[in-house]
Structures are given as C-alpha cells and as structure tokens.
Structure 1
Amino acid sequence: MNISELYKIYKQSYQVSTDTRKVEKGCVFFGLKGDNFNGNKFAEDALKKGAAFAVVDEAAYQTKPTIILVNDVLKTMQALASYHRNELGIPIISLTGSNGKTTTKELINAVLSEKYNTTATEGNLNNHIGVPLTLLSMTPKTEIGIVEMGANHLKEIELLCNIAQPDYGYITNFGKAHLEGFGSIEGVIEGKSELYTYLKNHNKTAFVNANDPIQLEKSVAINQVTFGGENTNVSVSFVEANPFVHVQFDNEIVKSQLIGAYNYNNISAALAIGHYFKVKSEDSIKAIENYVPSNNRSQIIHKGSNKIVLDAYNANPSSMEVALENLSNLTDSHKIAILGDMFELGKTAEAEHQFIVDLLSNLSISKAYLIGENFYKCRANEDKIQLFNSYESFKKHFSTLNITNATLLIKASRGMALERVLDIV
C-alpha cells in the first residue's frame, strides 16, 4: 500500500496510536518495534480495542484484511506524517535547543492559542517517533503547528526537519546537554544548528534571540525575526526575577509565574512569535501571565514555612549553573540547594560535576546537599556542601534535620527522580 492510499485510511479518523493502552475508536495503530518490544504482536489486540486498521512490517502478523503490511512501520509513519503536513499546508514552527524547549513550546502555544487553533507537541514527545505523532495529531481545524525537536546526536535534527518541514524555527540556546552523544559543546552547536541549515536551504524564517551571540552568528544569511533588546524586530526587556520573572513588552510590565532569569529568553521568544503572527499584545500578555509551570519544571511549592523551587524534570551543566545563580541572587536569607547527578555527559562527567561543586562554593547559598555517584566523587567544602552516594543515604540524613523558613532548590537529571525530596521536606 502506498502512502496516498494509507492517507485516505488515516483521514477517516485523523487519529493514530502506537500503544494499545491508548487506542481510540477508529484510529490507525502502528506496530512499532524497539530493542525490547515488537508492536507487530499487538496488531490484533489494537483492532479488538477499537482501532480501525493496524500497520505491521512482519508478514506473520498480517492475519486480517484490516492489518496493513509495509516494509518498515516507523518509516511509514514518518512518511505519512510528512504527507499529512503537506496536505494541511499550515505554518509549522519547530524549536530545539539544549534547555527550555518544553517551557518555551508551552509559552508559544499559550500565546498563539489566543488567536489561532493550534496543535503542539504533548509533553516532550520530541524524537523520531514523537515528531511524526505530533504532526499526525493535527487536524484540518489546526491553523498553526508547534513542533518540539530533541536530539542527542548529530543528524537527528536534520532528520526531524525533513519530516516536519518547518516554515519557522527557533533554537532556545546551546548548552552542555547530551555531551556523551554530541561529543563536545561544539558538537551541540553543530547538531542544533541543523535547524538553521534546513531553514536556510528552504528559504524559511528563524526567530533569533539577539542576546545570544551564537544564535546571531549561526543564523546569518537566514530570514530573521530578531527579539530581545534594542534594535531588534520585537523589543522585550528584562525587569526582574525575584523570584518570578517580569519583562517589559509593548510598554507594559508582564508579570509571569515563571522563576529564574533564564526564563526571560523563553518568555521573550513567545511574545516575539505572537507579535509576528499578529496576536494582540494584551492577549499575549494575558497568556504569559496565566501560564503556570507544571511537571516538575520550575514550580514553586510551599510546604510549611519552606518555599521549594522544584526543577527536577531534568538537568545538565548549563541549566544547573543558571538555576544555582538564580537561587544565589534571590533576596531570601536561608537558601539550600539539593542537587542530583547529571547524566549523559560521557567523558566530561567528572569535570562538569566538579565545576558545579566549585561554583556552589562561591555562591550566596547557605547549604548544598549533592546526591549521586558522580557528585560523591567530587572535592567539596564540607562546611557548606555535603555529598551522598545514594538517595537513601541522603534521605536518612536529611530526615533528621528540622529545616524551616528556607528556600530550597531541587534539581537533577530525570533518572534521579529527585521530586521524592518533597516527601521528606
């Protein structure tokens, strides 16, 4: 079956699924395969649960007329997504970067939703599977699509661009994330800039943070919409972050519910993109001010007399550094950092963890508790910094403390699941 024929089937519902636990009635089920699973095996189960058709790539599982055999399920789903994207013909905004992708995507979606019917990546489903699923979740009612793209190796963003074919692109920043896969910060810059390469080669447009010299350098010769300070297409200026970020836009002070000065850039991008797409300023401001972070991303939580900055969704050296600097700059008197290991750093892991420890020694932070095998190997000022090789050893110690009237930052890579600290604060 060719893609145009499969597309006619997909159009009957505009719904797809790769998980039999989430099958919607009338959808098309794609039996994806991985190292430890074979979705082909669940084709019949998907049909029983309401799927209209199932797509497999092993002939043994084509047991019914409504089970479609293809050469490669994943490549077929990707091709169908691209076909659908072209049939819709709507503006697609893609964004990538080392930090802040999901928050920025949510802010852009909030702003554009004030005027348009938008469809955006759910959560962080931003890889070679998530991007086509995002595209296939768009319907004829969608007016603008917002597609988050993640990568931890070279050529991944290139692949995702070829699937999504964005009209607009934005790179949040270039930081020390996924160094194990990219090899170095230079590799990160090269990998993320594959979005710029696509935009340039197809005469598309980049939204560029003029406060980031790397963005300015790498986006030369591309159609640009610049934002940030003076002499840009859209002026957004930083006001304060104590703890919530306030910015000035269109002669108004925008009071967000996001913490950390680093969110200034995320807010600015959303306001700039809204301005470009002619969303009224008052509507953009309302969208930013009403946005509340969730899912362990820069959340403010109050427990007893303590204020907790929960930023435990993920971490890398760049995001850890700005989060700690933000904590240090708060006017609160009693500030505590509870940090967990950063993953996917490869051969740089030892140096990057030691860098964070050394940084802590020079910041205005009362106490730091560092958890994980990487941090435990570091040299630290024991008066200010305590090291624990496991969460259990930290928990045993921390549970004996009676911490009150403090501001606590909780941050680590996802695998550390450091939101568990909430149970013992």
Structure 2
Amino acid sequence: MKHMTLREIAQACKGAYFGSEEAMGKEVSGVVIDSRKVEKDSLFVAIRGARVDGHTFIPKTIEDGALCALSEEDLGDVSYPYIRVESCTQALKDLAEHYRKSLDIKVVGISGSVGKTSTKEMIASVLEQKFNVLKTEGNFNNEIGVPLTIFRIREEHEVAVLEMGISGFGEMTRLAKMARPDICVFTNIGCAHLEQLGSRDGILKAKTEMIAYMNPDGSILLNGDDDKLASYLPENGIKPVRFGLHTENDFHAEQIENQGLRGTDARFVTPESAFSAHISIPGNHMVYNALAGIAVGYALGMTDEQIKAGIEALVPLAGRNNLIETGKFTVIDDCYNANPVSMKSSIDVLEKADTRTVAVLGDMFELGDNEKAMHFDVGVHAAKSGVDVLICIGALSEEMAKGARETNAEMEIHHYADKDTFFEEMDRVLEDGDTILVKASHGMAFAQIVERLQKN
C-alpha cells in the first residue's frame, strides 16, 4: 500500500501507540485481519468475531512478520509495537477513510438490490481497456470488506471499482465515508433486505446515502428503467445520467438479439454515437450491466472502441450465471445469492436453452413478512416460463412448489426438505442432456449441488 507510518496510523484511528520512537517512523506494507494472510511489515487488526477473537493471534502474527498490531486490549510489556484503540472495527474504518483521502484515484461505487457483482465485473472489464483497475474481490462489499479493498489500492492503480452492499440504514453512509466515490452507480431498487428497510422506498433511501460523500464534481448513473430510480433526483443537485432499454435514457440499447445461452448481441446508443457488441453472458440483465459500463466509460473519457472491447472481454464468475459443460449436463451456476427479481431473471435465462430445462431453486433469505408470498410468486413465474422441471429445496421453497403447482398442474415439480434428500433422488429426476439452473441464497450452500452435478 501507499506509504503510511505507525505514527500516522495511530493519529488516524485516534489510538495510543506503545513501542519505540524509532518504530513509529516505519511504514506498513498492508493491512490484514486474517492472521493467515500476514506478510512482512503488515499491520494486523485484531477483530473480535462471533467465534474467533483476533487478539489471540497477535503474538503469532508478529512472529510471522507483522510490524504492528491494532488491539482493544492492553498487551502489557511486549517487545513489539502496538496501537491500542477503543474499537478495532471502527479503527479499521477510520484508517481506510484516512488512506482513501491520500490517494489520487477515481473511485466507482456500485450499489443496488440486484446485480451489483455482475455490474462491477462489467464496469471493471470496460475500464481495464484504458486504466489500471482495482476491483472488489469476492463478497468484500460490507463494512469490513470495503476498507480491506481500499487498503489494496497501490500507487499504480488509476481506478477502483467498489461494490457496496448494505442491509440497514446508515451502513451506506459509513461505506461512502470511506470510499468517497467519484462515480455512483445504482443498478435497481428491489426487495432485498425488506426485513430491515421496510419498503422499496426505504431501500432507495438507504442505497442513495452513498451520494452524501461523493465527489461534488462527480457523476451519478442510474437505471432509468427502474420505477424508483427513474424519478429520483439527488439532493446535491447533480443531474443524474440514466441508462436502460428505453430510448428516453441517455444510454440505451436497441436491436437486442438473444443468442440463447451463448449471450446477447445488441446495438448501444450513447449521447454521441452508437456501436454494436456481443455480451457472452446470457440474460437481459447483462444488457443493463453493459449500459452501466458504457456510461462509466464515457464519464472517464473512454472511446467506443475501448468500451466495446471491454464488454466483449467479460467472462462469467463461478456462482454467477457461469455456464458449465459437464459432458452429461449443461449447468447454469448462479448459486451465489438470490432474491425474487434475480430468481425470475435466471429462470428467463434458463428458458433460452434448446434442451430439457431443469430449475433447481432454494430458499431466499431476508425477505421480511412477505417471504412466503414471494417464494410462491417465483413458483408461479417458473410455471409460466416454460421450464420443464422445477426442483425446490428448503422450507420456504415449499411455497415455491405450491405456487408452481397451482399455476401449471402438468409441470413436473419436486420439493425436497434439504440437499441430501435431493441427492438421493438426483439420478432418478435428472436426464442426460439437461440444462440445469442452480440458484438460491448464499446460506443454502448450493455450490455443493454444482459440485455434485460436475462429478456426475
């Protein structure tokens, strides 16, 4: 990471430094919270977790090369420097905010109910055609993951693409205070986290907290086809730029041609030009992602040729509409997470297959009081979509099966209480040549189903 001394770190996180005067001038090489990832001269932040207390690993991290530790405890008379703080979690965020302010880099912040990760991947793929880009890895999009991503920024990076996920009010404010985005991208306002946020209006309010800490000369990019975002006007007076399929958007798509599971061809219209490109990942949502990438590219001065190359360079991630050919099945691995909107979108992708189609769907979490009705509604959508076989796994997914049965009595529908029960029946239910969608909330651990299908 860029130069940051122990003296500077102690001041940034309002901590008390214990150690030699000489060590105060030394610079850390990086910041870690996982003792297994300690490298020479790194700063170890001792986070207290539900099952593990990072303080127990402090001596070992020093042995492994850490320069210093952040601790909430008085470590006594030790031979290494440490900084005592009231809260290591808050200190991590304070330090990330301080580090971000020292960086001369453009930051793209991405939020929304559905599609944050796939949008992040598309935007990063576009920007990589011109810039040295750092992007959020994995699910590092919360109040621990965002600061750790910020600490990964090096002097050679020109743009950081940060995914920012929340589940309650105030979280986005804390994330934006660290990230200080130059460009804010909002994908959509759906139904995720209704338990905490109450309504879609609540979700809109919570997501758009990002704007309070953005660059006052920056850009706000919105999905103009989303009913909540279409009419949204930020309080800071920045005029939003909108993208979507409808022609009234600043960036829109036309001549959209679905190529089945092999992706989509489309012509993209910008305020200044138009060009065609192929998106290798299937689904209409990927057209929206491409439009977001185009809008960000334009905001950062890229050419159509560079943007087109970035769109066409994108490849899928494991667990996110990743197409896997096993020799026996074609598997659409979309099991990383799920909510009603993304479930329906993935079912629509499955429908494009030219084989027998099987949807293996599981429970969706954090949907609030209407969770059963939302699962029922996904079952109705699956029954109307033309999918040949619906397999529902989990307690809530029993409502999904019920919705499908009431909609299409002739559809082949199965419900299993858990994955193990499904595994017992899998060989009987599935057929060679099937195209199989696997999707559920992350907590259902449906990656195990993908692995089993690959072995078969």
Fold similarity call, TM over 0.5: yes
RMSD (Å) for aligned C-alpha atoms:
2.4
After superposition, residues 224-373 of structure 1 pair within 5 angstroms as 224-228=240-244, 229-237=246-254, 239-241=256-258, 242-243=260-261, 244-249=263-268, 250-328=273-351, 330=352, 332-373=354-395
Select the residue among 226, 231, 237 that pairs with 1:212. Answer: 226
Q: Using the alignment, how far apart are the partners of 1:252 and 1:205 within structure 2? A: 23
Q: Using the alignment, how far apart are the partners of 2:76 and 2:114 within structure 1? A: 41
Distance 1:209 1:347, change over 3 A: closer
Structure 1 equivalent of residue 238 of structure 2: 222
Q: How far 1:203 sits from its partner (Å)?
A: 5.6
What letter is aligned with 1:291? L
Alignment partner of 1:376 is 2:398: yes
Distance 1:413 1:9, change over 3 A: farther
Counterpart of 2:318 in 1: which secondary structure?
Answer: coil
Distance 1:94 1:188, change over 3 A: same
**Percent identity of paired positions between Structure 1 and Structure 2:** 30
Structure 1 equivalent of residue 16 of structure 2: none
Normalization by structure 1: what TM-score?
Answer: 0.92
Q: How far 1:4 sits from its partner (Å)?
A: 5.5
Structure 2 equivalent of residue 135 of structure 1: 150
Give the length in aligned residue pairs.
Answer: 423
Distance 1:273 1:283, change over 3 A: same
Note the residue ranges of structure 2 that are not aligned, 5 or more in a row.
1-5, 13-22
Structure 1 equivalent of residue 161 of structure 2: 146
Counterpart of 2:295 in 1: which secondary structure?
Answer: helix
Q: Using the alignment, how far apart are the partners of 1:62 and 1:188 within structure 2? A: 49
After superposition, residues 90-109 of structure 1 pair within 5 angstroms as 90-109=105-124
Q: Using the alignment, how far apart are the partners of 1:97 and 1:215 within structure 2? A: 10
After superposition, residues 72-87 of structure 1 pair within 5 angstroms as 72-87=87-102
Structure 2 equivalent of residue 30 of structure 1: 45
Structure 1 equivalent of residue 206 of structure 2: 191
Structure 2 equivalent of residue 63 of structure 1: 78
Q: Using the alignment, how far apart are the partners of 1:10 and 1:101 within structure 2? A: 40
Distance 1:119 1:62, change over 3 A: farther
Greater shift, 270-279 or 94-103, is seen at 270-279
**Is the contact made by 1:179 and 1:348 (CA closer than 8 Å) also made in structure 2?**
no
**Is the contact made by 1:85 and 1:135 (CA closer than 8 Å) also made in structure 2?**
yes
Q: How far 1:235 sits from its partner (Å)?
A: 4.2
Normalization by structure 2: what TM-score?
Answer: 0.86
Q: How far 1:81 sits from its partner (Å)?
A: 1.0
Structure 1 equivalent of residue 189 of structure 2: 174
Q: Using the alignment, how far apart are the partners of 1:15 and 1:408 within structure 2? A: 42
Q: How far 1:179 sits from its partner (Å)?
A: 2.1
Select the residue among 384, 397, 400 that pairs with 2:428. Answer: 400
**Is the contact made by 2:344 and 2:382 (CA closer than 8 Å) also made in structure 1?**
no
Q: How far 1:232 sits from its partner (Å)?
A: 4.3
